[in-house]
Structure 1
Amino acid sequence: MVDMLVRTGAVVAPEQPARRRRRGFERATRGLVRWRIVQYVVLTLGAVVMVLPFAYMVGTALSPERWVMPYPPTIWPDNATLDNFVRAINEAGLARYALNSLIVAVVAVVLTLIVSSLSAFAFARLEFPLKEVIFGFYLVTMMIPDLIALLPKFQVLRDLGLTNSWWGLWAVYVSNAVAFNTFLLRGFFSRIPRELEDATRIDGGGTWTFFLRVLLPLSKPALATVAVFAFLGAWDDFWWARLLIQDPDLRTLPIGIQLFFNSHATQWTTVFAATTLAALPEIAIFVALQRYFVNGAFSAGVRG
């Protein structure tokens, strides 16, 4: 009798649990697919917005002189040429400026890593009076815009005889970055288990042994992040290099590119070619250290 009622539709059989779970899974899957499509669309649009200026820069650098600033704007020229890159390297002396910037940036990275890692190690692993207060002053300096301290720093560098030299640039780059890098590395160093330090001391090692042979090798992502920031800061700097350096032989790449501009005429193809060449080392550094950079940027500031 019950089977007859069910077959005729008078009584609706309850839905089986397995079927309900399958339908719920299908709805969740469809929702996830829609959300992924929205994410990919947004990321694609963002990538296009970010890449478009760089593509325009490269296209202009490859354009003949007569094709500069066409209307309507074009991304890629019809008659691409490398003459602008050759002119920027040979005639404008870009190779010398690039070598100067490379020396300044590499030394700035080394000094920044040394000073920041030692400072972060002291705040993360050592105990001394007023540690938190001093670290608070470090954080306060991060809130002060660099332009406000421009004149006092310049006066100090002038009194120390560090103007018109790379030593002045290195002092500025390291001092400007030490607070943020100390904050970044301190969070990463604090996550290293204390058991590793105790094991090092049991094996006969001291503080320096733990710092050099245990802590630093385990902190490669954070150190790579600091290195990338330090390199970009020194490689892209214009204002301090323009303010401190007067000797033409000591000029860095941003100053050399600025010399392409004059009051009579500006060779925009040469400017864009030089700018493209200046961006290549930054791209190479980021691509080479991308894995360490991403890991360090997201995990260094989180204490476990």
Structure 2
Amino acid sequence: MKKIFKYCINQVAFYLVLIFFALITAAPFLYMIGTSFKGQSFIFEYPPKFIPDQPTLRNFIVAWTSRRFDKFFLNSVVVTLCSTISVVFLSSLMAYGFSRFQFRLKGFLNGSIRIFMMMPAMTLIIPQFILASKLDLINTLPGVILVYIAQNIPLCVFLLTGFMQQLPRELEEAAEIDGASPWEIYRTIIMPLSKPALATIAIFSSLGAWDEYVWAMTILNDPEKRTLPVGIAAFHGQYLTDWGVVFAASLIAITPIILLFIFMQKYFIKGIMAGSLKG
């Protein structure tokens, strides 16, 4: 009886600690949601309230209709879709090659991918800008997309290679006996079996492209080409900032990523666990 009582106490204490840290982690997000529904006169009230007394949608209307926010949103959608589709396709091809074929420089290329994974993106800003300038990619969405693809491929190849190495070879061997080419095996066997890992890298690359600020701020000077992070930064005034509008714009910006993770979380968790076992 004492052991059962002690076990229950330990479990209650454990979950109370988890709830405490979860609330601390979620507090800024909850405050952002509450503030996005507050009028300007209620934002700086003390003590601050998470739930507004007089909620309003004014901040969302102002955020969406001012400063071409709808254009920023569309630009981010285009950049994220193009970079994510490209990363998933190219990474899956490279991972298939690394996991199934032996070729010269395979070890060198594998090592290079790991080195690029460890390099901070900030260290590449200057050479990337010089290269983009020589290729006339300044102030263009392709200039943003190509860099996002290059930044996301190393990690995605690493995860996919570990996942594909664990896939059973029997189906591939049967397909080879039937005369299937490597491309047909990749398309009809490898890709369907790799859905959890593909969902994982799709979420990673989507999040990286959707939220990235530094490179987009560096290369995009034309207001018509700005993405959401750069556009939201423009809501900050030099002398006065309407924080309700800023938080409303931020809430609109993060909603698609949250929905993406909710709908794909089972694949995400399965893929990240499998991809981390071997690589």
Interval of TM-score (by shorter of Structure 1 and Structure 2): over 0.9
1:29 deviation in Å? 4.9
CA distance in 1, matches of 2:57, 2:87: 37
Match for residue 277 of structure 1 among 249, 252, 257 = 252
Instruction: Flag structure 2 segments of 5+ consecutive residues without an equivalent.
Output: none
Give the distance between the partners of 1:36 and 1:209, measured in 2 at CA.
Answer: 52
Q: Does residue 89 of structure 2 align to residue 114 of structure 1?
A: yes
- CA shift, 1:43, in A, is 2.2
Alignment match, 2:100: 125
1:210 aligned residue: 185
Alignment match, 1:39: 14
Q: Which residue of 1 aligns with 2:128?
A: 153
Larger Rg: 1
CA 113–37 in structure 1, closer or farther in 2 if over 3 Å, else same: same
Q: Counterpart of 1:56?
A: 31
> 2:111 aligns to what?
136
Picking from 179, 199, 220, the partner of 1:224 is 199
Q: What amino acid is the match of 1:90?
A: T
Structure 1 residue 161: Cα displacement = 1.6
Q: How far apart are 1:35 and its partner, in Å?
A: 4.0
What corresponds to 1:99 in structure 2?
Answer: 74
Cα deviation, 1:229-252, whole Å, max 9, x if unaligned, reads 111111101111111112221111
User: Which digits, 9 at most, give the CA deviation of each residue in 1:104-156, with x for residues without a partner?
Assistant: 11111101101111111111111101211220111011111111111111111
TM-score after normalising by structure 1: 0.88
Q: Distance in 1 between matches of 2:185 and 2:6?
A: 50
Partner of 2:209: 234
Whole-angstrom distance in 2 between the partners of 1:139 and 1:276:
34
Match of 2:46 in 1: 71
Superposition deviation, residue 32 in structure 1: 4.5
Percent of residue pairs bearing the same amino acid type: 37
SS at match of 2:123: coil
In structure 1, stretches of 5+ residues that fail to align are: 1-25
Question: TM-score, normalised to structure 2's length?
Answer: 0.95
Root mean square deviation, CA, Å: 1.6
Which residue is 1:301 aligned to? 276
Alignment of 1:256 onto 2:231: yes
Q: CA distance change for structure 1 residues 214 and 27 in 2, over 3 Å: closer, same or farther?
A: farther
Shift of 1:34: 3.9
Change (3 A) 1:145 1:303: closer
